[in-house]
Amino acid sequence: MNTGKQVNAMIGLLFLTLLIVGAYFVNESTRQEEALEEVTERNAERGARLYVQNCRGCHGHEGLGPEGDPAGFAPKLNSSAFLILNEHNEFGAKATSAGVAEGIRTFLVDTIACGRTNTLMPKWSLAFGGSLSDRQITNLVIMITNGRWDLVEREAEHVDEEAGLDEQGRREIIFSDSSALSLTQSNCGQFSIPDLVNFRSRDPFAGAGAAATPTPAAGTADGGGEAPTVQGVPVADFVNARCASCHGANREGITGLGLPLLPSVLDQPDDFYFEAIANGRPGTAMPSWLAAGLTEDQIRTLVEFIKTVEP
Ligand code: HEC
Ligand code: HEC
288-305 pLDDT, tens per residue?
999 888 999 999 999 999
How confident is the model over 75-93, as a mean pLDDT? 92
Cα distance between residue 63 and residue 136, in whole Å: 18
What's the pLDDT tens digit per position in 172-219? 998 876 666 777 777 676 667 888 888 988 999 885 444 444 444 444
- First-to-final CA distance of the chain: 91
> Please, which residues have CB within 8 angstroms of residue 286's CB and are 6 or more apart in sequence?
246, 258, 276, 280
222 neighbors 309 (Cβ within 8 angstroms): yes
d(C-alpha 213, C-alpha 56), whole Å: 29
Q: Whose CA is nearest to atom 20 of ligand 1?
A: 121
Q: Is 138 in the pocket of ligand 1 (CB under 6 A)?
A: no
Which of 10-24, 55-69, 75-89, 124-138 has the weakest average pLDDT? 10-24
Question: Rounded distance, CA 184 to CA 168, Å?
Answer: 30
State mean pLDDT over 53-58: 96
| Angstrom distances, CA of residue 114 to CA of 38, 126, 242 | 29, 10, 16
CB burial class (10 A; 0-12, 13-18, 19+) of residue 185?
exposed
Counting ligands in written order, the one closest to the CA of 290 is 2
Give dist(CA 53, CA 143) in Å, integer. 14
Cβ–ligand 2 distance for 75 under 6 Å, the answer no
Residue 17's CB is within 10 A of a number of other CB atoms, namely: 10
Alpha-carbon distance of 294 to 272, in angstroms, equals 17
Query: 181, 186, 56, 180: which is closest to 128 by C-alpha?
Result: 186
pLDDT in tens, 238-258: 999 889 988 998 999 988 888
Q: What is the mean pLDDT of the chain?
A: 87
CA of 279 to the centre of ligand 2 (A): 10
